[in-house]
Amino acid sequence: MATLREIKTRIKAVHNTQKITKAMKMVSASKLRKVQNRMLDLRPYADKMRDVLMSLAKGADRESHPLLAFRQRKTVEVVVITSDRGLCGAFNTNILKAAQNYIDSCKKEGFEVSISTVGKKARDYFKRRGVTVRNARTGISGNVSFTNAQEISNDIKENYINETIDEVTVVYNAFKSMATQTVTVAKLLPLAPIEDGKEGSAPESAADFIYEPSMEAIFDRLIPRNVDIQIYRALLESSAAEEAARMSAMENATKSCNEMVGKLTLQFNKARQASITGELMDIVGGVEALKG
């Protein structure tokens, strides 16, 4: 049985851990409010861009822009977005599991798979398994900017136009609520804008448009921009989901600390009572021995 000193030391250690988890929860709550506001501000813009683009592209020739072109699928690029840090529950585990399942399914169909990662957790996961990562980016988690999205997007667009890759799929956690993050596997290219984990759909009937200055000029500006926006949205969704998952994980950890302190306190009281009872028995035994 543990001594009183050992139990007191464990209680103190749990209290210190509890202070850390509370502080981490508060920090995550602060970060979540900021990134959630940015994400919610971007959603209507990304949705409207998708609607406009799909309306324009509905009646356009698929060969009118390289990012609209469909070709035989040989190489599939999978972009996996995770966090740089842990302590966020099953956030990263769920993403990596979904990504691995999708990669395995692509390989079973005979496609070559190329992998790009955002976040240390994804990079380290594939590195431990000896998988070559074509492009790995870290340091974005918790500090998402549009410049980050453009860098990732430019790399993807360049490789797609050069026909190094034939299809691009993004795997990330979409933010639904404080308690819910949805694992999303969404096709990005050939042009399939991301919205809440589903590919965008064009209207059933295409209208006739008058393009000014020209269809080519509009597509050259709008389509690449749309890819930037959809990547940016995925990064913000993932960042918000990460902070929400970390808040939930730290709240659960704090509750567990409370329960552990209660159990240790009860154990301490029992041990102290047993110690006092033992001492009293020794005193009574000594008195009885003196009487004899």
Report whether pLDDT(132) > 70.
Answer: yes
Pairwise CA distance, residues 105 & 85, whole Å: 28
Quote the pLDDT of residue 203: 43
Tokens of 131: 């998988």
119 and 73, same structural domain? yes
The domain of 52 spans 31-247
133 and 275, same structural domain? no
With a pLDDT cut of 90, the percent of the chain lying above it is: 38
Give per-residue pLDDT as tens, 27-45. 988 889 889 999 999 988 9
97 and 36, same structural domain? yes
- The pLDDT-based confidence of 62 (bands split at 50, 70, 90) is low
Helices (H), the chain: 4-58, 91-108, 120-128, 146-161, 215-291
Q: How many domains does the chain have?
A: 2
Residue 3 vs residues 15, 265, 278: alpha-carbon distances, Å: 19, 13, 14
CATH code of the domain containing 13: 1.10.287.80
Q: Which residues are catalytic?
A: 88
262 and 195, same structural domain? no
Average pLDDT in the 270-278 region?
79
117 and 161, same structural domain? yes
CATH code of the domain containing 235: 3.40.1380.10
Contact 80, 122 (CB under 8 A): yes
- The pLDDT-based confidence of 240 (bands split at 50, 70, 90) is very high
What is residue 180's three-state secondary structure?
coil
Quote the pLDDT of residue 125: 94
Give per-residue pLDDT as tens, 134-162. 999 999 988 899 999 999 999 999 999 88
Angle subtended at Cα 156 by Cα 153 and Cα 162, rounded to the nearest 5 degrees: 135
Give per-residue pLDDT as tens, 116-125. 999 999 999 9
The pTM of the full predicted model, rounded to 2 decimals, is 0.81
195 and 135, same structural domain? yes
171 and 224, same structural domain? yes
- The pLDDT-based confidence of 218 (bands split at 50, 70, 90) is confident
The string of DSSP codes covering 147-179 is HHHHHHHHHHHHHHHTTS-SEEEEEEEEE-SSS
Quote the pLDDT of residue 193: 36
Pairwise CA distance, residues 159 & 156, whole Å: 5
97 and 125, same structural domain? yes
Pairwise CA distance, residues 43 & 151, whole Å: 20
